[in-house]
Amino acid sequence: MTTAATMPETIMIDVARYHPEHDEEPQYERFEVPYRSDWVVLDALNHIKDQDDGSLTYRWSCRMGVCGSCGMMVNGVPVLTCAAFLRDYLPGPVRVEPLAGFPVERDLVVDLKDFIGKLSAVKPWIIREEETPLSEGEYKQSPGQLADFKQFSMCINCMLCYSACPVYQHEEEFVGPAALALAQRYNADSRDEGNAERYPLIWSDDGIWDCTFVGECSEVCPKHVDPAGAIQSAKLESTVGWYTSFLPLGRKRD
């Protein structure tokens, strides 16, 4: 057990390095960085880049858990490195790798084009058959209508859920948890009328029915979006829709 009296002065960070120009596969490089109880893994990486090796490549921006750009694998778990405190990984070493399941471009940077394409495919924006004139005012919602989708709207596109998802690791066509959760967010929005445009993709075999409900996507989500819950809600809607499609329409009552 580490106490204040036994806090280390330094901690070891093992960083995955990969330069496609001359590396066939990633290698690990160990760095010794100062230990501070208020430092996060991103602070350690910034120290390495500033003091040890300026060629270390990774993404980061806000340092506040908002932009989602600093997602990496830390000791095998996908996390936001701006929220992963070094004190939780004592005594070390801390292994930092690029997000699993994505092609690596360089060091800790991964290629997100596959996700961006799938996100666009689910049309994550409000679709209206006919826009109401501005003169008639805004589209109003009740607190209950907002609650139907608010949780799913908190996604910051950090991609942790994709790295945690065992299906995405093996099924290249799987739309994936974040994109499906955002599709459900708009399908549940009372202002949206684009459900029919999204259903062919999200109800397909590569959509919600490819999900095996392991639930790891929701476990690692830093914003508690619960993409697994969103997918299960969409499965329920799909099942109800399938059953009701067999009901006779317009049948007269006796």
Q: Rounded distance, CA 80 to CA 160, Å?
A: 8
Residues 41, 63 share a domain = yes
Residues 147, 103 share a domain = no
- Domain for residue 56, yes or no? yes
Residues 170, 48 share a domain = no
* The pLDDT of residue 11 is above 60: yes
Q: State the helix-helix crossing angle for 113-121 and 177-187, rounded to 10 degrees.
A: 20
Instruction: Give the domain CATH number at 168.
Output: 1.10.1060.10
Residues 234, 118 share a domain = yes
- Domain for residue 171, yes or no? yes
What lies within 8 Å, CB to CB, of 135 at 6+ separation is none
Range of the domain at 57: 4-110
pLDDT tens digit sequence for 149-198: 999 999 999 999 999 999 999 998 999 999 999 999 999 999 999 999 99
Residues 232, 156 share a domain = yes
Phi-psi region of 33 (alpha: psi -120 to 50; beta: other; left: phi over 0): beta
Residues 165, 47 share a domain = no
Give the predicted TM-score (pTM) of the model: 0.89
Residues 240, 118 share a domain = yes
Instruction: Give the domain CATH number at 51.
Output: 3.10.20.30
Residues 99, 30 share a domain = yes
Strand 10-17 to 94-97 pairing:
parallel
